[in-house]
Amino acid sequence: MRTLISSFLIATVSLALVPLPADPTLRGFFPQSVQAERDLEARFKAMPDPARMREAMRRLSARPHHVGSPYDKDNAEWILEQFKSYGWDAHIENFDVLFPTPVERVVELVSPTTFRASLQETAIATDPTSNQQSEQLPSYNAYSIDGDVTGPLVFVNYGIPADYDELEQRGISVKGAIVIAKYGGSWRGIKPKVAAEHGAIGCLIYSDPRDDGFAGGDVFPVGPMRPSQGVQRGSVADMPTYPGDPLTPGVGATKDAKRLTVATAATITKIPVLPISYGDAQPLLSALGGPLAPSSWRGGLPITYRLGAGPARVHLRVKSDWSLKTLYDVIAKLPGSTEADQWIIRGNHHDAWVNGAEDPISGLVAELEEARALGALYKQGWRPKRTIIYAAWDGEEPGLLGSTEWVEAHAEELKAHAVAYLNSDTNGRGYLDVQGSHTLEKFVNGVAMDVEDPEAGVSSWKRLQASRIREGATDVRTDARDRADLRIGALGSGSDYSSFIDHLGIASLNIGYGGEDDGGIYHSIYDDFYWYTHFSDTSFVYGRALAQVGGLTVLRLANADLLPFAFTNLGETAHGYVKELQSLRDKRAEDISERNRQIEEGLFKFTSDPRDPVTAPRREAPAPQLNFAPLLNALDSLDHSASRYDKAYDRAVAEGRTAAARAVNARLTQAERALTSAEGLKNRPWYVHMLYAPGYYTGYGVKTIPGVREAIEQGQWTDADREIARAAAALEREATLISGLATTLGG
């Protein structure tokens, strides 16, 4: 209906010989291009087919397909044939990476009683792929160092730094101990990292039933939640230091790449670690003595949660095969016509921990349907202005291997040519979730307005807005009601976009639907076709919606007359980040002075329960004032340039200034690059973006203006001033670049 009305208006207005109106949701298209693009998009949107997605999922998840397995290669070859049959120029690109697979795994309680963990997920009669044990990767955490240790057990909650402070106040040390942590609260690789820093010799991670087991609903196969033997596999590499192949940081893991040795690779854990089910965890936890765990630490098992240390003693043994494995990245291309040296890149991984129907196949089948539809348009004669590259990455699960190695191998070309990267990973029923570069926020809002939600019969944008108004806190509700654009989240390091945005500064977006179905099959043998087609997007209508969002995003980026970046949203969001940093400093200062005062007044001593004694925390030096002026000045410059650019953009689009747009497009691709700094973040030079990074102690929780934020959080005050200057310099570079673009556009 919307399209009919706007085309009617266009027809009427053009008769009157006044300029055609631009279409606000179709950002970057000149009035004379709008109708052709709308027609093309209507043809595109009709093509993604839920039945084909269902069959593709059945095929791709039929057998386990982790890195190095026969079916991983088989899938890559099948995907390659699909792209070719859709009319794409496609090939497989190989890399050789370190990917350890388990050889020996032992977890046993050796005193005061004995128990040996099964470490085995059980096959379920009604689930036809759950019994493929000979091909399943046993439950383990990849990149755990080999080890054979025995020690007292300590329960450490989620195993993040704050949990160790609590233990210390209770006089509990993990030195020489094996810790047991719950999944959740941080990225899993943080748990062994923090445990080792505190002197632990081993680490177990288990899925507590309160988090994704029976507390949330019936367990599989009756319901979608984690059964008692279900285990979450996963990488524990230190990805906040760098993702990708641990042996080749910064360069592609090609045949003849220079490699570190396993012993010198910084991202492998310092202590052995294994994940276990709550079935295996219960006997260990119930053998713990010591103080009661704080109430917020307790989970859903029918036991008394205690901290230890001991009397439970645990033996943990882990040994892996550390050979290199081959990755199969499938790379497909549709050549551009008039601006072919600008690349739009789209990806989703194809490898899984086991059968991986949800993660990643639910996202991949949507990507494949987009590719089929784009290929069909191409065969019918359509030519994108810009080059489109579709990727099906291998090795995402162990550590974003396939995307990172590809980005590192092609870094120079990508820095010169990449316009944007669009990622998806998993998909389900519910709300459109978008994170990404705020330079693309306005643009992607336009896409969300043009894709219908399959359940609500309104646009995906409208449905998301409704949920934010209904469920959001006051500021979220106000924003959703009053702001022209729905906000998108910042990107951390949780999927294959990481190397694009964090390492090269390529504007990136991550898309997926979800939020209506809970599940407890993540990274287990039960994430399979049976589970997905019983408990998730069973009719694949959200698969179709994802293909429509992905395809429209790509089509618009590839066809736009003027690339659709907008900078006022970036400026506004960055203002929010700086305000957060200011209040974080004030809060830290207040907390430190109040706690120091309580220590001086002896309050911890007076209130300690002699039967459950708690000692005073350590005194901290008072927080100094920080000078945020350089950041605030940079934001003023950015605001000024962004509004100049907006005016120039509106005029250039309304008047269809083709030559000016051409001149600006190539430089616009550098706008995200301007936000990077060559030397990278402190102690992790791989991360060069000054606005976004995964937290050093949270994993893929995003830190915005990460250098400053982490300096404040860790009380490294002299670093904070220097990091403020570096972030401010990045924003000043951005402001200068945008200002130059406005001038070129004629603003």
CB of 66 to Zn ion, least distance (A): 12
Is the Cβ of residue 164 or residue 529 nearer to Zn ion in the bound state? 529
CB of 536 to Zn ion, least distance (A): 14
- DSSP summary character for residue 369: H
Pairing of the two strands 692-695 and 699-704: antiparallel
Is the Cβ of residue 425 or residue 537 nearer to Zn ion in the bound state? 425
Is the Cβ of residue 370 or residue 453 nearer to Zn ion in the bound state? 370
* CB-facing half-sphere around the CA of 738: CA atoms within 13 A: 32
Q: How far apart are CA 449 and CA 429, in angstroms?
A: 18
Q: How far apart are CA 428 and CA 360, in angstroms?
A: 11
CB of 349 to Zn ion, least distance (A): 6
User: Where do the H-state alpha helices sit in 318-440?
Assistant: 362-379, 396-399, 401-409, 411-417
Is the Cβ of residue 359 or residue 723 nearer to Zn ion in the bound state? 359
- Contact at 8 Å (CB) between 180 and 206? yes
CB of 425 to Zn ion, least distance (A): 4
CB of 423 to Zn ion, least distance (A): 10
Is the Cβ of residue 246 or residue 363 nearer to Zn ion in the bound state? 363
Numbers of helices and strands, H then E, in the chain: 24, 18
Is the Cβ of residue 121 or residue 425 nearer to Zn ion in the bound state? 425
How far apart, in Å, are the Cα atoms of 674 and each of 437, 490, 668? 13, 17, 10
Is the Cβ of residue 523 or residue 556 nearer to Zn ion in the bound state? 523
CB of 551 to Zn ion, least distance (A): 20
Residues that bind Zn ion (CB under 5 A): 359-360, 425
Q: How far apart are CA 64 and CA 58, in angstroms?
A: 12
CB of 495 to Zn ion, least distance (A): 6
Sign of the dihedral defined by the CA atoms of residues 477, 542, 328, 121, in that order: positive
Is the Cβ of residue 358 or residue 572 nearer to Zn ion in the bound state? 358
Is the Cβ of residue 185 or residue 360 nearer to Zn ion in the bound state? 360
Is the Cβ of residue 140 or residue 497 nearer to Zn ion in the bound state? 497
Cβ within 8 Å of residue 127, ≥6 positions away: 220, 221, 526, 528, 530, 531
Is the Cβ of residue 546 or residue 675 nearer to Zn ion in the bound state? 546
CB of 273 to Zn ion, least distance (A): 20
Bond before 335 cis per omega within 30 degrees: no
CB of 363 to Zn ion, least distance (A): 7
Strands, sheet with 387-393, edge to edge from the N-terminal-most edge strand: 89-98, 324-334, 387-393, 343-349, 418-424, 508-515, 430-436
- DSSP summary character for residue 20: P
CB of 531 to Zn ion, least distance (A): 15
Is the Cβ of residue 495 or residue 676 nearer to Zn ion in the bound state? 495
Count the Cβ atoms, other than its own, within 10 Å of residue 40: 15
Q: Which two tokens stand for residue 165?
A: 């402070």
Is the Cβ of residue 211 or residue 425 nearer to Zn ion in the bound state? 425
- Host H or E run for residue 180: strand 178-182
CB of 542 to Zn ion, least distance (A): 16
CB of 65 to Zn ion, least distance (A): 12
Pairing of the two strands 178-182 and 147-155: parallel
Burial class (CB in 10 A: 0-12, 13-18, 19+), 108: middle
CB of 530 to Zn ion, least distance (A): 19
Task: Write out the DSSP string of 546-580.
Answer: HHHHHHHHHHHHHH-SS----SHHHHHHHHHHHHH
Is the Cβ of residue 230 or residue 290 nearer to Zn ion in the bound state? 230
In degrees rounded to 5, what are phi and psi of residue 727? -65, -40
Residues constituting the chain: 747
Cβ within 8 Å of residue 609, ≥6 positions away: none
Q: Is 64 helix (H, G, I), strand (E, B) or coil?
A: coil
CB of 726 to Zn ion, least distance (A): 32
Q: How far apart are CA 441 and CA 434, in angstroms?
A: 9
- Contact at 8 Å (CB) between 712 and 584? yes
Buried residues in 398-417 as b, exposed as e (16+ CB within 10 A): bbbbbbbbbbbbbbeebeeb
Name the CA dihedral angle for 34, 36, 42, 43, rounded to a multiple of 10 degrees.
Answer: -160
- Contact at 8 Å (CB) between 435 and 522? no
